[in-house]
Every structure is written in structure tokens, then in C-alpha cells.
Amino acid sequence: MPDMPAIIDQRQHPLADGSALAWASAWGEDAVGPFVDIAFGEVTQRLRWIPPGAFLMGSPADEEGRDSDEGPQHRVTLTRGFWMFDTPCTRDLWLAVMGNDPSRKGSDLACPVDSVSWDDCQTFLARIEALSPGLALALPTEAQWEYACRAGTTTARYGNIGEIAWYDGDDATDGSHPVATKMANAWGLHDTLGNVREWCHDRFADYSAGEAVNPRVEHSDADGTAGRVVRGGSWVDYARSVRAAFRNRSAPGCRYDDVGFRAVRVPD
């Protein structure tokens, strides 16, 4: 299957007509593209615009470190753009929203929150909605996450691993690092690879070979313990796990000191 770049059109986005977003504390456009900020107390989180497009999801058979569950590589089309946290949720953002900090790793409040379960993330997102009605944040689908991480690239990583990710290599440490201290991808997202793994919305499922449009693997009360997708690798992982196509699973109630999350918002 040939490489297929993402369809990128940053000119069409919710800010293009100059309209303000009621839930945003600031908004604008810079050299990377459109952004909006949300604020809770003294803490501000930036979201970057991820344009709609298509990409090849998964890894080719010859990618170094590949696992069999990363294939078959298949075309995915996302018909709607979305806003995405430009970093994993930090400890200080979680503290501002939830009033506590469950993290067991990280040197300061600028580090990603960790030791939060998939279920905990749902509580956090509901709390944010209560504080800012209409914001409607969610965990990204697995397809949204990989598409955003790749940012138009088709290689295992969007850059040199030492420049873009905290992982168990040259920078090996016993914990996470402050966010946005490594190079961002082309869409302005930091730490999609390394630092902490990130929860996605989807229940873990095998890929199908056919083309998918806006794929989303739902879950029900009956499968409340079924594995949810985690992505991106972490500070404790070797390089083979710090790739755009790497995927793993965990039960929604589990908490790990190298797993966090970032949120998205799909415009109405």
C-alpha cells in the first residue's frame, strides 16, 4: 500500500470568519496554525486545530518494532476537524479542575497528570463541562489520536526520537517531565510520543482491512471492563513503543504512573 499524506487545509477552521468562541479565554493563529485557550483559575490549556483529512492508520509490515495488532494498515478518513490539547493534561490543570492531584511521578505541576484511569478521565471531562457548559470535551478516538500524532507524516515518528520524546533511552529517568520541553509536531502538538501514554475513547479492537470513515469503537455497560486503547509510549518505554502506530490496552478502572491523557473537542 503506497504512502498517502494527510489532506491538510488549515484555511478552513472555526476561527476563519473571525468569530469568537464563547468557551475560549483567548484565540488566534500563529505560524503553526489556529489555536484556542481555555482557562480554569490560574491555569490555561491551549488547543490546536486538527484539520479533516485522510491517512494510513497502522504500521507497514517492515516497520522496526512493529506488533501484529498494528495492521493491516488501512485508509482512514476523518471528515470533521477538531480541537486537541497541545499537551497531555498537566498536573496543575487536573488540580484546578478536580481539586486533587493523583500523580505519583513528575517533578512539578507542569508534568503530565498520571495515575488516572479511563473512568477518572470521564469524571474530569464531566467536571469541566459543569464549569464551562458547551465546551464538550472528550477523549480522542484512536483514529483521531494517530492522525493528530502523525500530522501528515508516514514514518514511525514525526521526528528524531531524542528531539521529540521523553522515553527510556538517552533521557532515561524515573518519572515524567514538564510538558512541551521537546519539539512539537507540524500541528503544534507536544508529547504525543513519550512522557506518558494517553487514553483514547475506543474499546480495543482488531483492525479491518477496508477503508474506514470516522471510525469509533464503542463500549457498553456490558463490557465495562473491556480494554480501552492507550497510545504513544512513555518515559518508561523503550523506543519500539514510542511510535505513532504503537497501541496497547488497559481496563478502564486501572491506574498507572506512566499513563495520562489529552482531550479533544469536535465543533458542532
> What per-residue confidence (pLDDT) applies to 221?
60
- Identify whether 7 is part of a domain: no
Are the beta carbons of 173 and 235 closer than 8 angstroms? yes
- Identify whether 41 is part of a domain: yes
What confidence tier does 172 reach under pLDDT thresholds 50, 70, 90? low
> What per-residue confidence (pLDDT) applies to 158?
97
The structural domain count of the chain equals 1
> pLDDT at residue 187 above 80?
yes
- Identify whether 5 is part of a domain: no
Cell of 13: 477552521
pLDDT digits (tens, 9 = 90+) for 12-66: 778 877 777 888 999 999 999 999 999 999 999 999 999 999 999 999 999 999 9
Are the beta carbons of 86 and 35 closer than 8 angstroms? yes
Backbone dihedral angles phi then psi of residue 164, each to the nearest 5 degrees:
-115, -15
- Identify whether 15 is part of a domain: no
> What per-residue confidence (pLDDT) applies to 224?
65
Domain of residue 167: give its range.
26-265
Strand partners, 39: 44
- Identify whether 223 is part of a domain: yes
> What per-residue confidence (pLDDT) applies to 13?
79
Instruction: Kindly report which listed range (65-69, 216-220, 230-234, 235-239) carries the lowest average pLDDT score.
Output: 216-220
Q: What is the pTM of this model?
A: 0.94
Instruction: Match 481555555 to its residue by C-alpha cell.
Output: 38
- Identify whether 196 is part of a domain: yes
CA distance 158 to 164: 8
Q: What is the enclosing helix (H) or strand (E) of 45?
A: strand 43-50
72 prior amide bond cis, ω within 30: yes
CA distance 162 to 58: 22
> What per-residue confidence (pLDDT) applies to 230?
98
- Identify whether 32 is part of a domain: yes
- The CATH number that applies at residue 189 is 3.90.1580.10
CA distance 120 to 126: 10
- Identify whether 8 is part of a domain: no
Q: Which amino acid is at 260?
A: G
pLDDT digits (tens, 9 = 90+) for 92-136: 999 999 999 999 998 899 999 999 999 999 999 999 999 999 999
